[in-house]
Structure 1
Amino acid sequence: MDMSDLMKALGGIEQKLAAFEEQAKGEIKTVGAMSTETKNAIEAISIKQREFADELLALKQRGALPQNETKADGWGDQFVKADAYKSFVGGQTQKARFEVKNTVTGSDTTVAPDRKPGVVSGAFQMLTMESLFPAVPTGSNAVEFTKENVFTNNAAEAAEGASKAESSLTFTLVNMPISTVAHWIKISRQLAADNAALAAYIDLRMRYGVNRKVETQLVSGDGTAPNISGILDTGNFTAHGYADANLGSTLKKLVLVRKIMGDLWAAGYPADAIVLNPADWAQIEIDIFTANTNMIAFKYDEGGRPILFGVPVVQSVGMTADNVAVGAFGSAATLYNREGVVVEMSDSDGDNFTKNLITLRAERRLALATERPAAIRAGDLTPA
């Protein structure tokens, strides 16, 4: 029996065995036991199946079956198969030269590349500013609030029957419009349909791009429409007011931060964060280490985040270099979210339909309302 006949017979046996097994299941379900005829038939077919398996093994041992593995030619095999060697042995040449390949496993063009899943991403910078403020939703296109302007406290002791001191308190009505941060990109329809991982990554990048811009706007947005009014916008903070002459001769940046913290405490706003550009914080750490001083006021928490004078240091890529902001951010401002980051797509944009393109747009609507400018003190990190 040759190979094709053997495989055909083996397939027929397997079909018969499966049919009798189904018949046995039906008998067990109906009468609670397998009939003797069915049991004997299954045993007979099982014996025949084992016989064919033994014959298949014998064919394989004799080398009658095709083998999947191919042995790569070693250096000696390549040598004796070379045309130059054959010419030398046949006396046609007096010397032979040939090139030996280190690895011979088939043509490179037939080997499929090892394609890795997913997309190797670019940098995603840590965004920290938004976590400093309480966030609440809004359903309007503007936020209006009343802010304390000036409180003149003239409270004083008064004798019995004497006139009491008069204090004054003024307020300002502030209207803060909702800002929109957005961008768009075009991709092919085929990309969106055929490469789900890449399309999802583009969606992620678009969302990140919006929030990366928000990070900068929360610090330095100038409030001129359509910009957000950030913490360093005029009127949203109190200048620290220190000059270089007030900071001593060593570790001036640290002295400045500590003085600002003292002023905030005196004003009734104990600091909950120190916001610095990452490069500036790196220089402060270097200054501490190179000063060779045991500065117990500087440490890291369990998560590796720096703590300075008991207050967390927040590194933000949105903070302008050589500037510092220290404040009670949790009570200084409120973040109003009109819409989170929304990603939409459409082919009804320009000639998208005829070019099989899709426009992806990501946008977010929000506003930062700084209700207590006195709770944030900011300015140059290295004042003149």
Structure 2
Amino acid sequence: MNKFEQLKAKALENAKAARLLAEKADNENRELTTAEKSAFDAAMKAADDFVKRAKEAKADAEILAAAKALADEIGGAPGKKAAGPVGRKAWGRAGVKTVREAMGRADGSKALVSGSVTMANPVSDGVAPLGAVPTSVLDLLRGEPAEGLSDEDYGRDLAGYKPRVENDSQIMDAIMRGDGGGTNTFTYLRQTVRDSKAAPVADGALKPTSIYTMEEIEDRFRVIAHLSEPFPQRYFHDDKSLGEFLANEMGYGLQRAIEQQALSGDGTGENMTGILSTSGHLSQAWSADLLTTLRKAMTALQVTGVDPTALVLHPTDAERLDLLREGVDSGKYLLGDPAAEAVRTLWTIPRVTSLAVAAGTAVLGDWAAAKLVTRQEAVLNVDTGGALFDKNQVKFRVETRAGVAIKQPGAFVEIDIAEPAA
């Protein structure tokens, strides 16, 4: 038993002792005696201490594992693989391998009929590599966890806790995982006013007061999911075709749905409230031509003290930019040689192409002002039972739970780049 497991067992032992005291008094329809209350408080304090120490031990182990994986990746022994799948295609291959092995085990063992496989999340809110060029809206939304999403925000403070659970191990496991024991909401602070009054002040004079109004936003995670159509189980023998199916269709579908929700979800029903549906974001109307309109949008942000970090465009609008020339139909391309290997930028700001934004609309902003938050890892569910069994078919379901925290709506500007009819 490693250090983490030992500390976890100690925490469980103390939590169970506290529960027994509380249940004894409850069953006898009375309050805890002074001695029982003292023992209960002591047990819960000990449980809390062991939980904290267990988390630290687990974090230390994870840091060491991550460091080793990084060392292997950038300077380890030749031939070693990076720890865990990276990217949508690797995610798909990992799922195929796991499911195929589960469905085709050796004789004498039970093969998988229906079940779930938890894999690396293709829409993870994990930190993006430092200095990496963003290639999707999800790249822009990844970063540090949103403000306010600490362990305590999920209501897991043990002080005064009176355990009423059927399985102590389950609640302790939930505490260790940090999943809030089933909480489906998250909170964060959103800035609604930004008025800086900083100025020189004489000795003894009253200092000016800047206004940075914040409001606490509570939101809930949404389930993002889709099904595959049934197809023959024999496809499991062809890694290439099934791997491409999972990676290029189901993983991509999950990513695209979340990008669309994070940008323009309208907040009704099970839709997220996206950036363009959040009150407070700026708007820029069409002005003269495409480049002028985009530059004015940049100015609209800069005069409020916001430095934009990326521009998101529909592919057809990205094409319009790329094909701008000095002449109407001839001359040099304004944005550079199409054969050049330069990073796609506009006035040094990276351009990201996405189907999540409508044609004729662009979104410019400081993308650190919004963050993707996930509650549940992507889960691949597999079913071969019922009518599928009779036809020797298999069906997939992929789903995750996610939300978006928009901390500064004013850090984004919605741009109308649809050229008016002549």
Counterpart pick for 2:347 among 300, 309, 312: 309
Q: Which residue of 2 aligns with 1:133?
A: 141
Q: Which residue of 1 aligns with 2:308?
A: 271
CA distance in 2, matches of 1:287, 1:338: 43
Paired residues of 1:238 and 1:378 also in contact (CA < 8 A): yes
Counterpart pick for 1:213 among 257, 264, 285: 257
Aligned pairs for 1:216-365 (under 5 A) are 216-235=260-279, 237-240=281-284, 242=285, 244=286, 247-248=287-288, 252-291=289-328, 303-329=341-367, 331-348=368-385, 351-365=387-401
Paired residues of 1:219 and 1:230 also in contact (CA < 8 A): yes
Alpha-carbon offset, residue 237 of structure 1:
2.4
Max radius of gyration: which structure? Answer: 1
**Larger strand share, 1 or 2:** 1
User: Closer, same or farther in 2 for the Cα pair 1:141/1:135, shift >3 Å?
Assistant: farther
The secondary structure found in structure 2 opposite 1:225 is: coil
CA distance in 1, matches of 2:221, 2:300: 32
Paired residues of 2:312 and 2:354 also in contact (CA < 8 A): yes
CA distance in 1, matches of 2:282, 2:292: 18
- CA deviation string 1:108-162 (max 9, x = no partner): xxxxxxxxxxxxxxxxxx9611111234577352220112222344556666666
User: Closer, same or farther in 2 for the Cα pair 1:310/1:164, shift >3 Å?
Assistant: closer
When normalised by structure 2's length, the TM-score is 0.52
How many residues were matched structurally?
250
The secondary structure found in structure 2 opposite 1:263 is: helix
1:373 lines up with 2:373 in the alignment: no
Paired residues of 1:183 and 1:362 also in contact (CA < 8 A): yes
- What 5-or-longer segments of structure 1 have no aligned partner? 1-125
- What 5-or-longer segments of structure 2 have no aligned partner? 1-133, 150-178
**What is the identity, as a one-letter code, of the residue corresponding to 1:307?**
T
CA distance in 1, matches of 2:407, 2:413: 14
Paired residues of 1:127 and 1:212 also in contact (CA < 8 A): no
CA distance in 2, matches of 1:200, 1:374: 41
Paired residues of 1:135 and 1:337 also in contact (CA < 8 A): no
Alpha-carbon offset, residue 190 of structure 1:
3.4
CA distance in 1, matches of 2:208, 2:325: 49
The secondary structure found in structure 2 opposite 1:228 is: coil
The secondary structure found in structure 1 opposite 2:273 is: coil
When normalised by structure 1's length, the TM-score is 0.56
User: Closer, same or farther in 2 for the Cα pair 1:193/1:270, shift >3 Å?
Assistant: closer
CA distance in 2, matches of 1:193, 1:380: 47
- CA deviation string 1:75-99 (max 9, x = no partner): xxxxxxxxxxxxxxxxxxxxxxxxx
Q: Which residue of 2 aligns with 1:173?
A: 216
